[in-house]
Structure 1
Amino acid sequence: MLQTLYVIAHTFFKICRLELGPQDLPSSRAFLLLVTATYMCISTIIPIIFEIPILKAILQTFVEVGITFFLTFSLLYMTGFYARTLQTLTAIMGIDVFFHLIAIPILILELYFKSAGIDIGLTQILAILLVSWNLTIYAHILRHALSTEFFVGFVITFIYLLVTIIILQTLFPTPLPEVITQ
């Protein structure tokens, strides 16, 4: 069991290092369901850390996963790569698990710094680096899924990001920080 978990984690880590692609994952609905459930559990924890009500956090997570599944399925179906849907979604959900696990300590550190009145910008820099790396890996995954160039994968990743932000902000508006509204 532990060896299996190691192999799975190592495969996702290699995807994060751009060494493997979604085609290197098993095409399995059960595996996709397991990875998605793991992602949803971890993704729900992050808003709760920031004292967002649990029901809202769960709903946001379901909407986010729904958007990702819809966009990925639609893209692969329209381009004739429907057979790659399971592996592509598994790769996306798996790397999101990886990045959320890295993000949680950064977010906790940010809360600690805020409570101590410290603002050195470290957590913001780490967050920017993490998001940049995440977008690069999304582009890498989509490039492989569509058998295209990295630039095309990056453009599609940027569109994914914009669509997701617009929908989430429409359904779950986030108030602007006081500094911006004054």
Structure 2
Amino acid sequence: MQQLIKTVMQLCFLRAGPQHLPAKSSYLLLSALVYLSVRWLSAPWLVVVETNFITVVVELCAIAALVYLFLNLVHKPERALQTLEALWLVSIVIWMISFPVLAQIQQSDEGELQISDNIQVVLLILMVWELLVTANIFRHAVAQKFSIGILIALAYSALLYWVVNGLTLMF
């Protein structure tokens, strides 16, 4: 377990790729359950999105579907397990780091969010960091340059946002 945590931290600092994670379905299931828990626990702080359990489950399934679809398209389906594991574990770390930041967001009496400039900067840094880590994960998954990983991560993030918002409107 200690080696897993060390590898996840190396992923967060772009020093490792998903291939460095153990390719075990038990670790994938564990990372999915922890991801689900962390995202669901962050729901009270995300008043704009009104995240609930169904939304988080939809997000989890959408991530899995997009990764499997993409890796099948590039003929590397064998890398899906470790890629998913890496994406979920890194997101867990970044979300846990963001908890204190999200707790600082206030809501006015009119229902508008009041986010200080400092909080906005920190949230932007966290978003860019997650994008870079996602790019690194995809770069390793498809064995391409980092610039290709960034393009894949941007497309993945946009598509994930679109799919999750579209599907959660149905609930």
TM above 0.5, yes or no, is yes
**Residue 22 of structure 1: aligned partner:** 18
**Residue 58 of structure 1: aligned partner:** 53
The structure carrying a bigger helix percent of its residues is 1
Aligned CA distance change for structure 1 residues 145 and 111 (closer, same or farther; 3 Å): same
- Name the CA distance, whole Å, in 1 between partners of 2:71 and 2:115: 43
Compute the RMSD of aligned alpha carbons: 2.4
Give 3-state SS (helix, strand or coil) of 2:104's partner. helix
Structure 1 runs of 4+ with >4 Å offset: none
TM-score, normalization by structure 1: 0.83
Structure 1 residue 50: deviation in Å? 4.0
**Residue 89 of structure 2: aligned partner:** 94
Give unpaired runs (5+ residues) of structure 2.
Answer: none
Q: Which amino acid aligns with 1:81?
A: K
Please tell me whether the aligned partners of residues 17 and 136 of structure 2 are also in contact (alpha carbons under 8 angstroms): yes
Q: Deviations over 1:56-91 (max 9, x none)?
A: 611111111111111111111121111111111110
Q: Deviations over 1:121-175 (max 9, x none)?
A: 11110000000000000000000000011111111111111112222333446xx
- Name the CA distance, whole Å, in 1 between partners of 2:69 and 2:115: 42
Give unpaired runs (5+ residues) of structure 1.
Answer: 174-182
% same residue = 24
Q: Which amino acid aligns with 1:134?
A: E
Rg (Cα) greater in structure: 1
Q: Deviations over 1:25-75 (max 9, x none)?
A: 0001000000110010000111233468x9x61111111111111111111
